[in-house]
């Protein structure tokens, strides 16, 4: 896969896919999408980047170890379950916070953070597998 065209395009393509994965993640609550599918798109972005530029470049780009990313996602998902304890409601009951931001209203909610947690778990776990497989192939 060491063609000039691919190596030139891959970083832009990966960046675009990362952006799209975040978009899919955020629209997930009311429309098709969500953390799992968003995470998979992000992992494909890393995989393409890895095929083009090598595994070490991907590891540099990710900055943190994939396993740590997955674990922090799990931690975030667990934390997002907890807030309802303060309202005397059962676990996982969604809490909403409407935040005005630059003229529009942003709905922040615990399901959103749960979804971000899922996103990180998927990104971390699958890219960890993908990277070690690609490393073997080298």
Partner 1 sequence: MAVTQTTVDTAAAMVTEAVPLADWLLVAPVLLTMAGGATAIIFRKKSFVQPWIAIATISLVILSNIGLLNHVLTNGVVTMVMGSWLPPFGIAFTADPLGALLALTASIATLCVAIFAINSIAENERRYGFYPFLLMLLCGVSGSFLTGDVFNLYVWFEVLLISSFGMQILGNEKIQIDGAVKYAVLNLIATTLLLTTTGLLYGLVGTLNMADIAGKIKALDSSGPVLAIAALYFLAFAMKAAAFPVNFWLPASYHTPRLVVAAIFAGLLTKVGVYALLRVMVLLMPEGRDWLASLIGLVAIATMLTGSLGALAQTDIRRLMGYLVIAGIGAMLAGIAVGNEVAISGAIFYAMHSVLIMTALYLLVAFMFQMSGTFSLRDIGGLYIRTPLGAAIGLVLLLAVAGLPPFTGFWAKLLLVAGALEADRGWVAAGVLVSGLLTTIAIGRLWIFAFWRGGNEHTMDGIQALPIAGSSDASEISWSIWLPLLALTALIVLIGVMPEALMSISDNGARTLLDPTEYIRSVFGGIR
Tell whether residue 132 is a contact of partner 1 (CB under 8 A): no
Residue 13 or 95 with smaller CB distance to partner 1: 95
**Structure tokens that stand for 99 in this block:** 């935040």
**Structure tokens that stand for 77 in this block:** 């998902």
Residue 13 or 81 with smaller CB distance to partner 1: 81
Q: In Å, what is the CA distance from 113 to each residue of 39, 62, 135?
A: 14, 21, 32
Tell whether residue 99 is a contact of partner 1 (CB under 8 A): no
Residue 98 or 135 with smaller CB distance to partner 1: 98
Q: How far is the CB of 131 from partner 1 (least distance, A)?
A: 16
Q: In Å, what is the CA distance from 27 to each residue of 40, 89, 95?
A: 15, 26, 18
Tell whether residue 68 is a contact of partner 1 (CB under 8 A): yes
Q: How far apart are CA 1 and CA 75, in angstroms?
A: 37
**Structure tokens that stand for 96 in this block:** 């909403």
* Contact positions with partner 1 (CB under 8 A) in 104-123: 105
Residue 70 · residue 121 · CB < 8 Å: yes
Non-local (6+) Cβ contacts of 130 within 8 A are 43, 46, 47, 50
Residue 8 or 89 with smaller CB distance to partner 1: 89
Tell whether residue 95 is a contact of partner 1 (CB under 8 A): no
Q: Which stretch binds partner 1 (CB under 8 A): 6-14, 16-24, 34-42, 72-80?
A: 72-80
The residues of the shown chain that bind partner 1, judged by CB under 8 A, are: 67-68, 70-72, 74-75, 77-79, 81-82, 84-85, 88-94, 98, 105
């Amino acid at each position: 896969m060491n063609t000039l065209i691919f190596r030139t395009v891959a970083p832009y393509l990966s960046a675009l896919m990362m952006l799209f994965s975040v978009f899919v993640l955020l629209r997930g609550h009311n429309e098709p999408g969500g953390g799992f599918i968003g995470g998979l798109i992000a992992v494909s972005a890393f995989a393409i980047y890895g095929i083009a530029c090598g595994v070490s470049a991907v590891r540099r780009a990710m900055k943190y170890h994939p396993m740590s990313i997955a674990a922090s996602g799990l931690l975030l998902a667990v934390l997002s379950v907890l807030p309802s304890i303060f309202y005397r409601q059962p676990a996982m009951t969604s809490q909403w916070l409407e935040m005005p931001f630059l003229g529009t209203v942003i709905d922040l909610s615990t399901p959103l953070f749960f979804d971000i947690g899922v996103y990180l778990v998927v990104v971390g776990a699958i890219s960890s597998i993908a990277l070690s497989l690609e490393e073997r192939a080298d």
